[in-house]
Structure 1
């Protein structure tokens, strides 16, 4: 087998890997991507994109059951879970095909198979255990992503206990569901199935749901979920699962009491671990900590010529973080001296109902970091567009440094906040203070006006509450 030479070889074609490959090609580097499954990675094929398609269907189901509030009526409302899943898969397939087109457009060579380091500057590619390519490269970027964490006693079996994969292509529409873990993945699936009519129990080992969010936002979302009839157990531990023919009983300890809850299916959403196995790290100076590869701010590992980006390198496990890391890594390789990424400027979004979005420090984190803070809040009930839309349940919270006026963080819950958070993200990236934000003119009527009011409230100038 003849060796093929490249400037850059990327292991993994997810949002970190394929973006890094495109940027490398733009800079004139001969580039290859090795992908063992589907271009676009987990995000595009089994994560971010198809779950949004599913959630859109559940939102429509919710709207159809609240038509009377808008002056409409409909009879015999029903859905076909198979068609909902089919649409979700079609969306993912369309976008995966789009990535293939981008690879061809940018003249990036794609190898279908499993890649692993095979010595200095070399990558071996195999498919179904058989060698298919021997690659040489000056620079190798590891972008192999992550997978669902498995905890003893609640191991997924593909039938009664699901990971996110089975939850996206359900064999049945469960009438009763237990979701273990209330981070973004758990909250989204809990919301999806709840809005399709399932009886959902959300179990979280920590003392509140959405634990990485600001405490007020977590409390707001919990209240909204419970209003929608979701059962929530926090400070709860799963002691074990008992499986029947087509149902499973969870033994749960919470609040000093042990209870049993029976459901048709259980979704395990207890975090992720990096895909560090079988990629040739043995015998290299690449350092791995808690299943994630350690890098410097430019993606460099301890092994010269080997880099790592994306979920493989640890939190936040976000597609947009991976893509940005890919660009930084390539531009550093090209000697362009890119700015390092400030993780406090990376927004996070959760697409449950209500949506959740945030950027920067929570109030608690800001205080722990030594900041004296000014806090602003604004409820959507004071926003005309939100009321007109029939979506008045929401809030925005801003955190400012009391001495300098620096925007330290912004936190939101409500309709379309995942689209609005970028306004605060831009403000943070540009190191905007409260002065510029207060002087900014927001269009009326929009929900985004609540962002302005939350800034004004931090300084005693709020208008509409």
Structure 2
């Protein structure tokens, strides 16, 4: 049996794990990363990146269909599903190679296999080459999460999909029922609807994108319905049965028929077979409990990313990685503030947000000032042919603190970082009003949304 020794070992090579390994190496630690599948994790290989590649194909398809609005006549476009999927896989493969390069560049030892805790400061890694004992004073668990499997709906690659099957379909179904109207469900709804699939979405909550501001959620719902997507909110799936080539899905008060069911009803943490038994690591609802710096109840064992709980976002995992490693190294990083983590949904239209919604702010007892700026009043948006959507800001009426910002419209996922920086710098309305935004740009609407909260708008 091989035996290797390091200062720190990271279990899991996703956006939390590989970032932790790189930062540890930068700080002079002898570092290893254990991964049983592909470097880059679910995000790079089966999540964030390939879905965005497919959604980009859908965006191009919509744009070509609307070419005549821009004075360009083209033949009717025809989607090539196989080519779209091939492109998305190539994008992921390219980035996977990039992570491998980063491991070599930073002299991180990559060990392929499945790791289990085997006593304090010790891991057993089982891979194709056999079993290896790895010794390390510090172990970071970054094992991620997987799609929640609903009773009676085990993904089979044919008529029941998880996000993995939805990324590599063999053919387009005539109709698709998506269970779950969070970011994943709504993104896939946008993609398959653009390709001509009859899409229905079921959500137990009273509205789609239930974590977003109510006005944003309502606007997106209206747009999706206009695109032909059927939304069934406030509905529970009571039963499912396969009749011939169709699924019959009984909801609260109605029945929906579909060729394929896509389950997008949440995730569960990968906590099984990690050797947590007999340790002081606590697990609740499939997620490892940690403090603000990733420390578990077991000395020398840490957890970051999706396995450590919500919000389940790649950039949250990467930021936690830096905080955790710097704390291990004896530095003094700031604890993660979840209210400063932006969230993005890459549907059509896109959604982006940070901080409190208007309702959350008021429920917290804050007196607020709220500003809204529609893209219909923005010159760049009109010129681009994308005047739909708006930006909403929520300020504390007493202090001027930016409590939250919410956007819906074209490429808002590229704009939310402006408000993220503002919150990190603890900017008030005064600094945001004094900021000069370029003209013409959609970002001018960010300025107008601030001015609107204080009744100082210029272009509305």
Q: Distance between the aligned counterparts of 1:108 and 1:409, measured in 2?
A: 39
* Alpha-carbon contact 2:22-2:106 (below 8 Å) kept: yes
Structure 1 match to 2:210: 211
State the Cα distance separating 1:453 from its structure 2 match. 0.3
Helix, strand or coil at the partner of 2:207? coil
Structure 2 match to 1:375: 370
Structure 1: gaps of 5 or more residues: none
Structure 2 match to 1:181: 180
Structure 2 match to 1:49: 49
Say whether 1:273 aligns with 2:268. Answer: yes
Structure 2 match to 1:395: 390
Q: Distance between the aligned counterparts of 1:22 and 1:134, measured in 2?
A: 22
Output the TM-score relative to the length of structure 2. 0.99
Structure 1 match to 2:141: 142
Say whether 1:326 aligns with 2:321. Answer: yes
* Alpha-carbon contact 1:154-1:240 (below 8 Å) kept: no
* Alpha-carbon contact 1:251-1:261 (below 8 Å) kept: yes
Structure 2 match to 1:441: 436
Cα-to-partner distance string for 1:245-264 (whole Å, 9 max, x where unaligned): 533222221xxx2x222222
Q: Distance between the aligned counterparts of 1:248 and 1:86, measured in 2?
A: 28
State the Cα distance separating 1:154 from its structure 2 match. 3.2
Say whether 1:95 aligns with 2:95. Answer: yes
Helix, strand or coil at the partner of 1:104? helix
> How many matched pairs?
460
* Alpha-carbon contact 1:437-1:452 (below 8 Å) kept: yes
Q: Distance between the aligned counterparts of 2:152 and 2:453, measured in 1?
A: 47
- Cα RMSD (Å): 1.0
* Alpha-carbon contact 1:276-1:292 (below 8 Å) kept: yes
Structure 2 match to 1:154: 153
State the Cα distance separating 1:119 from its structure 2 match. 0.8
Structure 2 match to 1:65: 65
Q: Distance between the aligned counterparts of 1:172 and 1:35, measured in 2?
A: 31
State the Cα distance separating 1:227 from its structure 2 match. 1.2
Structure 1 match to 2:354: 359
Helix, strand or coil at the partner of 2:236? strand
Structure 2: gaps of 5 or more residues: none
Structure 2 match to 1:240: 239
Q: Distance between the aligned counterparts of 2:131 and 2:246, measured in 1?
A: 44
Structure 2 match to 1:309: 304
Q: Distance between the aligned counterparts of 2:301 and 2:76, measured in 1?
A: 59
Q: Distance between the aligned counterparts of 1:189 and 1:47, measured in 2?
A: 11
Structure 2 match to 1:411: 406
* Alpha-carbon contact 1:17-1:326 (below 8 Å) kept: yes
Cα-to-partner distance string for 1:48-99 (whole Å, 9 max, x where unaligned): 0000000000111111111111111222421210110000000000000100
State the Cα distance separating 1:2 from its structure 2 match. 3.2
State the Cα distance separating 1:167 from its structure 2 match. 0.2
* Alpha-carbon contact 1:62-1:196 (below 8 Å) kept: no
State the Cα distance separating 1:113 from its structure 2 match. 0.7
Structure 1 match to 2:125: 125
Q: Distance between the aligned counterparts of 2:127 and 2:146, measured in 1?
A: 20
User: Are residues 37 and 245 of structure 1, via their aligned partners in 2, closer, same or farther at CA, if it must alter by over 3 Å?
Assistant: farther
Q: Distance between the aligned counterparts of 1:444 and 1:179, measured in 2?
A: 40
Q: Distance between the aligned counterparts of 1:86 and 1:319, measured in 2?
A: 23
State the Cα distance separating 1:175 from its structure 2 match. 2.1
Structure 1 match to 2:192: 193
